[in-house]
């Protein structure tokens, strides 16, 4: 589902009608776990920036970042909150890592 930032960072989209980037859509999370080395765990997060047009997400740009380090394994192995799925918990945690490293804007994943 597209992410609607709580404090949007608008971005002008070149077109005949000026549009602003208002939504972020997580496309994929590729999590690699090395069973012999927890420190080698990594996540490749891919997301798109865009806007909504009559209920359809229009992609303007796509980004991908490799996340590695001790905070990655710590974040994705936290105990789930019990109110949502493990999938949603991990997705929210990876998005928080992207924000903490300055790769993604403010907002939450729904």
45-58: per-residue pLDDT in tens? 999 989 988 989 99
Query: Are 3 and 27 contacting, i.e. CB atoms less than 8 angstroms apart?
Result: no
Residue 30, pLDDT above cutoff 90: yes
Beta strands in the chain (DSSP E): 2-3, 12-13, 19-20, 23-32, 42-53, 56-68
CA dihedral 83, 85, 91, 97 (to 10 degrees): 50
Query: Are 1 and 22 contacting, i.e. CB atoms less than 8 angstroms apart?
Result: no
Residue 91, pLDDT above cutoff 80: yes
Model confidence at 3, pLDDT cuts 50, 70, 90, reads low
Question: Structure pTM?
Answer: 0.72
The dihedrals phi and psi of 51, each to the nearest 5 degrees, come to -145, 165
Q: Within a domain: residue 15?
A: yes
Q: Within a domain: residue 75?
A: yes
Q: Within a domain: residue 107?
A: no
Q: Within a domain: residue 46?
A: yes
Q: Within a domain: residue 106?
A: no
Q: Provide the domain limits for residue 34.
A: 2-100
Number of domains in the chain: 1
């Amino acid at each position: 589902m597209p992410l609607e930032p709580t404090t949007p960072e608008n971005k002008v989209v070149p077109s005949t009608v000026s549009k602003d980037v208002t939504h972020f859509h997580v496309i994929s999370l590729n999590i690699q776990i090395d069973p012999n080395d927890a420190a080698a765990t990594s996540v490749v997060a891919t997301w798109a920036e865009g806007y909504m047009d009559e209920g359809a997400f229009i992609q303007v740009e796509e980004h991908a970042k490799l996340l590695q380090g001790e905070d990655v394994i710590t974040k994705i192995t936290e105990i789930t909150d019990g109110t949502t799925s493990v999938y949603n918990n991990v997705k929210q945690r990876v998005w928080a890592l992207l924000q903490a490293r300055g790769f993604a804007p403010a907002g939450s994943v729904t």
